[in-house]
Structure 1
Amino acid sequence: MSDQVVMHPQLNPPHFEHSLSDSDPEGDNEGQNETEAPVAPLNDMEENSEDDLHTVRVARPVPPIDYGPQPPLISTKELMNLAFRPAALNTRVACRIGRCRDGLDKIYPQYQLSIEHIHTGEVQAVMTARKKRKSQTSYYTISGIVHDSPESAGRLVELGKVRSNFLGTTFVIYSHGKNPMKKEGEAGKGELPIREEMGAVLYDPNILGFKGPRKMTILMHTLTRDGKRPEFRPTSESETLLSKYREGGSRDLLVLHNKSPQWNEETQSFVLNFSGRVTQASVKNFQIVHDNDLDYIVMQFGRVGPDHFTMDYKYPICLFQAFAIALTSFDAKLACE
């Protein structure tokens, strides 16, 4: 394939000139293919114009560099840098997510995220998430793992949360901090800053019902010109990502969608090309793209075993955002399916 120069709005700060490349409840059916993985088989049911300032020329194809496991995180500062710094340009971060739902965790499972070195198989556990009990909506808390000493098994540092509406169709991603919209102070958060809104995920109604894949919209704020993620701490409902998007004020928002899969007559399922990173059929499988460049996979997530999943992400999102987006896919969404 010859090099092709494409316009890549919003995904990169305008002064960068880097080459980027293409990259992938219970009871999901299995199906395997080295190049394409089914997204939503027929019988897969779950229980549960931009201005020029935001445009950059991107040449392709150049294979992305894989970010591999690093030495164990030994401080909260190291953890924060890994969790909240956007992925480097032309770098793919490959991860694995394991779900534990044994015994008491069957209804409220735990999830462990590890960074993976694709070529060696080496993994490094860096985050965990747990679905909160006694909550009227889906509510996940995300923590990072810090090894303060060689003898330490790992200390958990709370990073943030993901919370849905009652129907499980809209999720908002926050950092750890105070909720400014609560009149009474939250216990144990008196000294914390106001929480940062990191993103939102919307699941649209699916006219095909259980027979079709989900439709996702991901909202985030655009990065600064030097490629950094600006802090955004709304203090009223009108300042939130969802309010801005619904009122048409999306000029400073990054709006992403899941890539539409194609119907495969042979497998009788919707499929996407995950380049071997996803091997089993699941309605949870998805790839996230920008509408102006459907070949640049910002993030992909999918099943490789009954309780094992892969998650890869690239610029402009960070590890915390990617994990949070993946967690939203685990819930059954009866209003959408």
Structure 2
Amino acid sequence: MSSSNTHNYPQLTSSTFTSHPTADDSGDEGDMDATIAPQATTIRVTRPVDPTDFVLARPILSQKELNDLAFRPAALNTRVTCRICRFRDGFDKLHPQYKLYIEHLATGEIHHVMTAKKQRKSQTSYYTITGVVHVANASQPGSFMTEEMVLGKVRSNFLGTSFVLYSHGTHPDKKKEQDSSNSNGKDLDIREELGAVLYDPNILGFKGPRKMTILTHTLTRDGKRPEFRPETESDTLLAKYRDGHAKDLLVLHNKSPQWNDETQSFVLNFSGRVTQASVKNFQVVHDNDLDYIVMQFGRVERDYFTLDYKYPICLLQAFAIALTSFDAKLACE
């Protein structure tokens, strides 16, 4: 069952926080889909007002600020620009770590705000996402220490064709066990389901570039995200979508790239934010407006990527969607 309550995360605004190697895909996690290259020429689409870039003026100083940054949907007509760095040296080759930075394009200033770690000893792909908070160092006045706080997780099915994003919380079955045992400890709430990503099967990549479907809930009229904590499998986003009950869901897709005869490749216009061809490059749109890019993600170097997103998704959702693109997909390539 899902709750009718809403989060107190209406929209993300800057005022909330005021106070290399080769560029090909060789060696990646099993990628065999058709690569997507950045379009060579920029085509500007005139919209009513150009979006404003979100600026994080300083590091995150509290858990409340971290939650606001992670869970608030981007404000209307605002773009949040990010950078993701992948670390997979030594023993981390098969279990990489990804660090997300919010980037100020005008100054080049970056702030590390989230980290995702691919977990070992898991039968399916499983990422834990933590947020970075700077706290005062009591032993050295004026200095800060960093602390990591768990925000959520991303988990795939065995074939890597579907992924689900959860907030930090308790599995419904474990919650029932806690309630039945009359535990007096500080139990976590049932986890919130924040989104799901589906990849169309594409054995050996014969069907061309990947095809993605992203599921989340539509926002309320006042710009808030409905709280959604399913307690049974039939209430989940994936179950609702597959059963044809998608009335209250926001269904997005990746934009289909165009074939370019001159370059002999599929291309998308990333407006200079993506510079290298990769199977991982994608843009997310709604079928009713293919010119409004809800999110875009792509490679600039072998282990460096850019991630930009807009209303109505939040930073945690955008990061999780990007993580699904890194993962190997047995039935998709």
Q: TM-score, normalised by structure 1?
A: 0.81
Among 47, 51, 54, the residue aligned to 1:64 = 51
Residue equivalent to 2:242: 246
Letter paired with 2:85? G
Residue equivalent to 2:319: 323
Letter paired with 2:324? T
Alignment of 1:47-58 (within 5 A): none
Contact in 1 for aligned 2:280/2:299 (Cα 8 Å)? yes
Cα deviation per residue 1:143-163 (whole Å; 9 max; x = unaligned)?
000001153341000000000
Give the Cα–Cα distance (whole angstroms) in 2 for the partners of residues 298 and 66 of structure 1: 14
Stretches of structure 2 that go unaligned for 5 or more consecutive residues are 1-24, 29-34, 137-141, 180-184
Residue equivalent to 1:199: 195
Measure how far apart 1:190 and its partner are: 5.4
The answer to whether residue 134 in structure 2 is matched with residue 147 in structure 1 is yes
Alignment of 1:179-328 (within 5 A): 179-182=171-174, 184=177, 191-206=187-202, 209=205, 212-328=208-324
Cα deviation per residue 1:203-222 (whole Å; 9 max; x = unaligned)?
00237725721000000001
Contact in 2 for aligned 1:203/1:217 (Cα 8 Å)? yes
SS at match of 2:231: coil
Cα deviation per residue 1:152-193 (whole Å; 9 max; x = unaligned)?
34100000000000000000000000000346559xx95111
The answer to whether residue 132 in structure 2 is matched with residue 136 in structure 1 is no
Contact in 1 for aligned 2:172/2:231 (Cα 8 Å)? yes
Give the Cα–Cα distance (whole angstroms) in 1 for the partners of residues 286 and 210 of structure 2: 17
Give the Cα–Cα distance (whole angstroms) in 1 for the partners of residues 207 and 49 of structure 2: 36
Among 81, 90, 103, the residue aligned to 1:116 = 103
SS at match of 2:112: strand
Q: CA separation of 1:111/1:207 partners in 2, compared to 1, >3 Å: closer, same or farther?
A: closer
Residue equivalent to 2:16: none
Residue equivalent to 1:20: none
Stretches of structure 1 that go unaligned for 5 or more consecutive residues are 1-24, 37-58
Letter paired with 1:266? E
Give the Cα–Cα distance (whole angstroms) in 1 for the partners of residues 68 and 247 of structure 2: 27
% same residue:
73
Give the Cα–Cα distance (whole angstroms) in 2 for the partners of residues 62 and 109 of structure 1: 39
Which deviates the most, 243-252 or 66-75?
66-75
Tell me the C-alpha RMSD between the 2 structures: 2.2
Which deviates the most, 206-215 or 164-173?
206-215
> Aligned residue pairs: how many?
290
Q: CA separation of 1:243/1:311 partners in 2, compared to 1, >3 Å: closer, same or farther?
A: same
Residue equivalent to 1:163: 155
Give the Cα–Cα distance (whole angstroms) in 1 for the partners of residues 302 and 208 of structure 2: 21
Residue equivalent to 1:73: 60
Cα deviation per residue 1:267-321 (whole Å; 9 max; x = unaligned)?
2211100000000010000000000000000000000001000000000000000
Contact in 2 for aligned 1:174/1:198 (Cα 8 Å)? yes
SS at match of 2:213: strand
Letter paired with 2:233? E
Residue equivalent to 2:32: none
Measure how far apart 1:118 and its partner are: 1.1
Among 76, 91, 110, the residue aligned to 2:78 = 91
SS at match of 1:232: coil
Letter paired with 2:330? L
Give the Cα–Cα distance (whole angstroms) in 2 for the partners of residues 235 and 269 of structure 1: 45
SS at match of 2:194: strand
Measure how far apart 1:35 and its partner are: 3.9
SS at match of 1:329: helix
